[in-house]
Amino acid sequence: MVQLRKKVLVKEVVTTDQLGQPCTPVVRVAVMAVFQNPLAGKFSEDLSELFEIGGTVGGDLAAEAIAHLASDPVSYGKAVIVGANGDLEQGGAVIHPRLGAPMRAVAGGGDAVIPSNAKLGAPGCAIDLPLGHKDNPWSFDHFDTMTLSVPDAPKPDEIVLCLAYADGGRPIPRCGKGPLKA
């Protein structure tokens, strides 16, 4: 089992748009976990150890995030920052093969692909975690982003796993409800 160095919780409650127009409150919650990358500094064809970490740690983080929402989740997203001694595929191994199922389970399902982002980074670097509707991949109202960082992570041999849920879309969305028909 992986030992976490730390967890960070970010909770945003949006009550106006960027111009100050009041909106129905939207709560976005992200939880980030910092842990040692067991494959840092070495190439490996077998990334299964990271698959397991993503599923196990991600499941715990997902349950924690959901507990901080004001109402049921309608959108979700995931991201990973890999320290300099790792590689991007190691981050992909954490967020792709096993993380989706526990994220969907705590959200009460989810037919849409979970939007994601991955990057290599130094301590304190930010990542844009994309959010999308959990059931409707064409819900423009729910295309959103949380910019996240942990000031002292990732160290070169660490990984920062991030996941987020929201109980609404963007404030006062006005871009339409999906693809325009010709």
How does pLDDT run across 72-115, given as a tens digit for each residue? Answer: 999 999 999 999 999 999 999 999 999 999 999 999 999 999 99
Which of 91, 163, 147, 145 has its CA nearest to residue 120? 91
Residue 174 binned pLDDT confidence (cut-offs 50, 70, 90) = confident
pTM of the model: 0.94
Q: Where would I find the beta strands (DSSP E) of the chain?
A: 4-16, 22-36, 75-82, 116-120, 127-133, 144-148, 158-166
> How many CB atoms neighbour CB 145 within 10 A?
17
Q: How far apart are CA 68 and CA 7, in angstroms?
A: 14
Q: How far apart are CA 141 and CA 171, in angstroms?
A: 9
